[in-house]
Structure 1
């Protein structure tokens, strides 16, 4: 497994774990008998995003320390796979932006808008990660 494939796995796993932890905190621990839209979510969302970034960085540092001799040179295939994964994931960033815009125009609660955007960012990371891992395991799709 190449260094770049390991990075893709790390980011994929961290995105799923961070969002799952956020969902558990909001759904199980934060409602307190009130409607979900009135749940204080801001701190949990910020901690989830910040924790995911920190966990990814830390995991990549540990991975590099465990295998210091691994080649960290990105070749043409690595760049093409990264670009492919970015293209797959970017669709959900656009979907999240459009959804947030429509929700804001319709006057939805900020809770739903923020969570829709966060979910789309996570889906972008997860699907982009799956695309990268699949490309490393098989090959890039032929167009």
Structure 2
């Protein structure tokens, strides 16, 4: 497994675990509560920071575990990355319509922020899935 594929797996795992933990924590407060009173900004920023930090730390750990492969990328890796990022861009572009529509409908900040957060998560996961499929099934 190439270092790029390892980083993609890290991105996918972190991209699932952190948002699920965040959403389970914050959205569990929604039933029976006015969402305007839920303190979500701090936990959301913490989740974003934790996701970035976990991705960086895990990438460093995998690079230390196999240092000879850490900086190796070839044309296949670059093309797989390009395709995955391309798909992620389109997913984000389409998913961003939801928070835009919520804003136009004058929905609460809680729902707009979570729709935007979900759009970023879906884009990152779509990108990672495309890359993993390309690595596993062949280019």
Q: What TM-score, normalized to structure 2?
A: 0.92
Q: Which runs of 4+ in 1 moved over 6 A?
A: none
Q: 1: CA distance between counterparts of 2:111 and 2:95?
A: 12
- Give 1:26-105 correspondences, 5 Å limit: 26-28=26-28, 30-31=29-30, 33-70=32-69, 72-105=71-104
Deviations 1:82-121 (A, max 9, x none): 0110111112211233222221111010111110010011
Residue 53 of structure 1: how far off its partner (Å): 0.1
Please, what is the CA RMSD of the aligned residues? 1.6
Aligned to 1:5: 5
* Count of aligned pairs: 139
Q: What TM-score, normalized to structure 1?
A: 0.90
**Which residues of structure 1 form unaligned runs of 5+?**
none
